[in-house]
A and B are shown apart, each in its own frame.
Chain A
Amino acid sequence: MVESSKRFEARAGSELRRELLVEPWPELGLVAANGPADPSPELVVEDGVVTRLDGRAAVDFDVIDRFLVAHGLDLEVAEEAMALPDVRLARMLVDIDVPRAELVRLARGLTPAKLARVAGMLDPVELMMALKKLRARRDPGNQAHVTNLKESPALLAADAAEAARRGFDELETTVGVARYAPLNALALLVGSQTGRPGVMTQCAVEERRNLELAIRGLVTYAETLSVYGTEPVFADGDDTPWSKAFLGSAYASRGVKVRFTSGTGSEALMGFAQGHSMLYLEARCVSVVRAAGAQGVQNGSISCVALVLAVPGGTRAILAENVLAAWLDLEVASGNDAISSHSAIRKTAKLMGQFLPGTDFVTSGYSVMPRRDNTFGGGNYDADDIDEWLTIQRDWQVDGGIEPVAEDEVLRVRERAARAVQAVYAELGLPPVTDDEIEVATGGHSSADMPDRDRAADVEAADDLLARGVSALDVALALDRRGFVDVAEAVVGMLRQRIAADYLQTSAVIEPDGLVRSAVNDPNAYLGPGTGYRLEGERWELLQALPHVVDPRTLGSETGAAAAIVEHGAVAVRGDDPGEVVVALGPAFADGLRETINGLPHEAVLDAVLEGVRDAGGTPRLVRIRRAADVAFIAHDGAVLSGSGVALGLQSKGTAVIHRADLQPLDNLELFGMSPLYTLESYRAMGRNASGYALGQRVGPVPTELDNFARAKLIVRTTLLHAREAAAVVPNAPPVDVERLNP
């Protein structure tokens, strides 16, 4: 009886298995959706007053229920909307003939239990369809995290500039040490406006400090306003729906764009899920967010994502909560910021739910720097993953909000931003930023490469900056005095935006020319194929042009002028030497093409084969096959001409076959199809074996290796080489004898 499996053992050691998966435990809230204790949807209105809501009588309404009754539910729509069967609403969500506006209208009258139940009916593809349809703004976008462990201003500015240049609409920083807030906000403002005017920035810190930064014009948005789905957790978070809504209005009164934060799993993590499913509690959260009058929310589990993924259906529930937020007409920054899994496969499988339909911000924070520098504890995708993200955009023809930018351009904006922040520091009397810092911030990998600063001096300077009342206007003037006129203009432009406050509307982002695009002037009107946002035209050209993409016309074409290796003679006839081994060359071998896919020069391959044939006692004879590019026919045509009936066929890319005249063309004695793995010794062995077959000796097959990745790595080159071989074919041309020149 075998008691253990080495395969199970290998799997148990995988990255994936570092995570704990658990069975549902509804009493603790460890159930993704459709929990057994979730209330049935219910809304009773008597004389214009809500007397029952989702299983509770008015006397038992908690603070969340009371807030939703006061501000969330539109009773004029509620009767009609609540009367619709769950499945009818669910089908409307995916029906391309039901416009977004109609669904948004009905959602005003739906209770949290109804919202959760309907979204809970959709499968993953249906949820993606619903999300694509319900997104508020037409174009998807993305948000970046910009932080580093040393809170280096030059590095923050350089990373902000690169993020802005790569197309992120919003950049978010935070602090390791709270007193750094004004300095980090300053670096982000300067860096972002160097990279691309109009990019919005925030610094996630305590509310008073945050408001102060906003009032100074150092930040333009905030998303630190968390809400929760049960009363005890809300209170543990030291807030109520009323306090959070008031804070939202307070930010708006200072011209700050506000997005609330919620997400599945937080109530279970904080110990008061009250036996409800994660999705139901999130339906309560997003209902509160909408009732508070916030224009949007970052949701999709956010920091609790790994907990939600521990229970069955977690990934689906997270996508469903994004759908609920969009259905409630909210801007959605859809998570994918905190690390969701150790497994790259699992992480990216989860990402597709938001990435493919597109959300207002596909991530709530793509880490533009290496994740070790991400002080949010984020970095689900980071600087080292950017090529992967760009490639997946290109693969799916989907806009995930990040643009490819060439290395020289990245270096240019990074250096300029670091120099701009150096200039501002000098003008404002802050501790100097050295040229050394600029150099490393421009070309380094992470803050580990950065020189250390005097942190005590920095925090003192930060306090002083606030005490002096330095504002974004002072920053603009400092930039202007040091010659960064365009950056100064961009900073003033952001101040202008704050006064106009157009970006307070739903899903607003700012174009480089200052135009605000939001759900008001650029709404999503997706109604099926041919409508809505489609990645086409210039944008598609941009997103497919990755810096490392090559023009296939330029590959392998550099051999034209090389000296001849072989000379062609008369039309070949059948030989009569029984020890003769024909070495049959493909149409372009050692002629139009000069090396194998593995980079071996054809003359060296040829000499190795000839040597091998001679070593084993055969007499080699070179023949050029002109009528076919397929290695089987090259070899078989050669075998027919061979005195022994045996030939070795060679294709230009290095594939070889040993053939015999009496076999069918697609049969063979030995096939060497792994051309990328062959060395000159391999070709010598092929020559020896061909001789062995010709002389009737016992022959052991040439040992070959297997590389299953060779195809993925080389299939493009194979295609191009084969195309050139095929182009050299002369239909019906007879084979000719060939002589090796200057061996």
Chain B
Amino acid sequence: MTLDAARAGELDASEMRVTAETLRLQAEVALASGRVQLAENLERAAELAGLGDDELLAVYTALRPGRSTAEELERWAERLAEQNAPRNATFVREALVAYRERSLLADG
């Protein structure tokens, strides 16, 4: 990743992003310095690295208050699990339980 490589047309803008492996390494660094939650966040991020922007924003929107029914959140969790994002799937299911208790689901 150098200016010379850019001049030579060897770089593609779409490839200039952090990889899941790098994010996992950063999670290890965070954990080694005692930052459990930061590490967990970076692990979730690693899982999301391969997802498209629209899908990311769709999950975010689904998690906003009153947006999703329990079934919809469960479907998102399943979809995340299918895309090698088990931590995020668990995260969405946790939200589903909390939202049900606190009337934050679309269907009350």
Enumerate 29 A-B pairs (CB-CB under 8 Å) in ascending A order. A63-B104, A70-B94, A217-B13, A239-B64, A240-B95, A240-B98, A240-B104, A242-B98, A245-B41, A246-B63, A250-B45, A250-B57, A252-B42, A254-B17, A293-B38, A293-B44, A329-B35, A471-B13, A473-B16, A477-B6, A492-B3, A495-B16, A499-B16, A499-B18, A499-B22, A501-B18, A504-B42, A506-B30, A506-B33
Instruction: Confirm or deny: A549 has a beta carbon within 8 angstroms of a beta carbon on chain B.
Output: no
Contact A105 B34 (CB under 8 A): yes
Contact A235 B65 (CB under 8 A): yes
| A69 and chain B: residue at smallest CB distance | B98
Please name all residues of chain B whose beta carbon is closer than 8 Å to the beta carbon of A61 when the two chains form the complex.
101
A interface footprint on B25-66 (CB within 8 Å = 1, 0 otherwise) = 010011001111111111011111101010011011001111
| A520 and chain B: residue at smallest CB distance | B33
Contact B101 A66 (CB under 8 A): yes
Instruction: Confirm or deny: A737 has a beta carbon within 8 angstroms of a beta carbon on chain B.
Output: no
Chain B residues 42 to 92 lying within 8 A of chain A, measured CB to CB, are 42, 44-49, 51, 53, 56-57, 59-60, 63-66, 88, 91-92
Contact B23 A477 (CB under 8 A): no
Contact B37 A502 (CB under 8 A): no
Output the residue of A66, A251, A472 with the most chain B CB within 10 A: A66
- Given A207-B57, A480-B7, 11 more A-B residue pairs with CB atoms under 8 Å apart are A66-B101, A74-B36, A211-B53, A235-B66, A242-B94, A246-B44, A247-B60, A252-B23, A473-B13, A492-B2, A505-B29
Contact A246 B88 (CB under 8 A): yes
Output the residue of B11, B18, B51, B91 with the most chain A CB within 10 A: B18
Contact A476 B88 (CB under 8 A): no
B interface footprint on A456-498 (CB within 8 Å = 1, 0 otherwise) = 0000000000000101111011001000010011001001101
6 nearest A-B pairs in the assembled complex, by CB-CB distance: A293-B41, A252-B45, A255-B18, A242-B95, A253-B48, A243-B63
| A58 and chain B: residue at smallest CB distance | B101
Please name all residues of chain A whose beta carbon is closer than 8 Å to the beta carbon of B88 when the two chains form the complex.
246, 249
| A471 and chain B: residue at smallest CB distance | B13
Report A31 CB to chain B, min CB distance, Å: 26
Report A304 CB to chain B, min CB distance, Å: 22
Instruction: Confirm or deny: A294 has a beta carbon within 8 angstroms of a beta carbon on chain B.
Output: yes
Complex Cα gap A520–B57 (Å): 31
Instruction: Confirm or deny: A533 has a beta carbon within 8 angstroms of a beta carbon on chain B.
Output: no
Contact B65 A295 (CB under 8 A): no
Contact of B44 among A108, A249, A488, A495 (CB under 8 A): A249
Complex Cα gap A215–B74 (Å): 28
Complex Cα gap A108–B35 (Å): 10
Complex Cα gap A67–B97 (Å): 11
Please name all residues of chain A whose beta carbon is closer than 8 Å to the beta carbon of B104 when the two chains form the complex.
63, 235, 240
Q: How many residues of B contact A (CB 8 A)?
A: 52
| B46 and chain A: residue at smallest CB distance | A253
| B12 and chain A: residue at smallest CB distance | A473
B interface footprint on A231-249 (CB within 8 Å = 1, 0 otherwise) = 1001100111011011111
Report B31 CB to chain A, min CB distance, Å: 11
A: residues with CB less than 8 A from B are 61-63, 66-67, 70-72, 74, 101, 104-105, 108, 207-208, 211-212, 215-217, 231, 234-235, 238-240, 242-243, 245-255, 290-295, 329, 469, 471-474, 476-477, 480, 485, 488-489, 492, 495-496, 498-502, 504-506, 519-520
Complex Cα gap A109–B21 (Å): 31
Chain B interface, DSSP helix/strand/loop, else mixed: helix
Task: Say whether, besides A474-B13, A476-B6, A254 and B18 are in contact (CB < 8 Å).
Answer: yes
Contact B98 A473 (CB under 8 A): no
| B7 and chain A: residue at smallest CB distance | A480
Contact of B17 among A72, A105, A108, A215 (CB under 8 A): A215
Task: Say whether, besides A215-B53, A480-B7, A489-B3, A295 and B38 are in contact (CB < 8 Å).
Answer: yes
Please name all residues of chain B whose beta carbon is closer than 8 Å to the beta carbon of A63 when the two chains form the complex.
98-99, 102, 104
Please name all residues of chain A whose beta carbon is closer than 8 Å to the beta carbon of B1 when the two chains form the complex.
492, 495-496, 499
Contact A217 B16 (CB under 8 A): yes
Report A115 CB to chain B, min CB distance, Å: 16
| A235 and chain B: residue at smallest CB distance | B65
B: residues with CB less than 8 A from A are 1-3, 6-7, 11, 13, 16-19, 22-23, 26, 29-30, 33-42, 44-49, 51, 53, 56-57, 59-60, 63-66, 88, 91-92, 94-95, 98-99, 101-102, 104
Report B98 CB to chain A, min CB distance, Å: 4
Please name all residues of chain B whose beta carbon is closer than 8 Å to the beta carbon of A240 when the two chains form the complex.
63-65, 95, 98-99, 104
Please name all residues of chain B whose beta carbon is closer than 8 Å to the beta carbon of A295 when the two chains form the complex.
35, 38
| B62 and chain A: residue at smallest CB distance | A243
Contact of A505 among B30, B36, B47, B49 (CB under 8 A): B30
Report A248 CB to chain B, min CB distance, Å: 6
Please name all residues of chain B whose beta carbon is closer than 8 Å to the beta carbon of A473 when the two chains form the complex.
6, 11, 13, 16
Contact A519 B18 (CB under 8 A): no
Contact B48 A250 (CB under 8 A): yes
| B36 and chain A: residue at smallest CB distance | A74
Complex Cα gap A66–B47 (Å): 24
Contact of A485 among B3, B29, B39 (CB under 8 A): B3
Report B85 CB to chain A, min CB distance, Å: 10
Complex Cα gap A104–B42 (Å): 20
Contact A504 B37 (CB under 8 A): no
Complex Cα gap A74–B60 (Å): 26
Output the residue of A239, A246, A254, A473 with the most chain B CB within 10 A: A246
Please name all residues of chain A whose beta carbon is closer than 8 Å to the beta carbon of B59 when the two chains form the complex.
246, 250
Complex Cα gap A66–B18 (Å): 32
Please name all residues of chain A whose beta carbon is closer than 8 Å to the beta carbon of B94 when the two chains form the complex.
70, 242
Complex Cα gap A253–B87 (Å): 14
Report A624 CB to chain B, min CB distance, Å: 73
Complex Cα gap A472–B11 (Å): 12
| A208 and chain B: residue at smallest CB distance | B57
Please name all residues of chain B whose beta carbon is closer than 8 Å to the beta carbon of A469 when the two chains form the complex.
13
Contact A500 B22 (CB under 8 A): yes
Report B28 CB to chain A, min CB distance, Å: 11
Please name all residues of chain A whose beta carbon is closer than 8 Å to the beta carbon of B48 when the two chains form the complex.
249-250, 253
Contact of A290 among B37, B45, B47, B56 (CB under 8 A): B37
Complex Cα gap A250–B33 (Å): 22
Complex Cα gap A63–B65 (Å): 11
Complex Cα gap A534–B23 (Å): 34
Please name all residues of chain A whose beta carbon is closer than 8 Å to the beta carbon of B26 when the two chains form the complex.
501-502, 504-505
Please name all residues of chain A whose beta carbon is closer than 8 Å to the beta carbon of B38 when the two chains form the complex.
293-295, 505-506
Please name all residues of chain B whose beta carbon is closer than 8 Å to the beta carbon of A70 when the two chains form the complex.
94, 98
Contact B13 A242 (CB under 8 A): no
Please name all residues of chain B whose beta carbon is closer than 8 Å to the beta carbon of A501 when the two chains form the complex.
18, 22-23, 26
Complex Cα gap A245–B73 (Å): 16
Contact B41 A292 (CB under 8 A): yes
Contact B65 A253 (CB under 8 A): no
Complex Cα gap A329–B34 (Å): 10
| B33 and chain A: residue at smallest CB distance | A520
Complex Cα gap A66–B101 (Å): 10
Report B12 CB to chain A, min CB distance, Å: 8
Contact B37 A71 (CB under 8 A): yes
Contact A243 B64 (CB under 8 A): yes
Complex Cα gap A679–B6 (Å): 71
Contact B45 A249 (CB under 8 A): yes
Report B39 CB to chain A, min CB distance, Å: 7
Contact B3 A246 (CB under 8 A): no
Complex Cα gap A484–B94 (Å): 51
Task: Say whether, besides A292-B41, A293-B39, A250 and B3 are in contact (CB < 8 Å).
Answer: no
Complex Cα gap A64–B35 (Å): 20
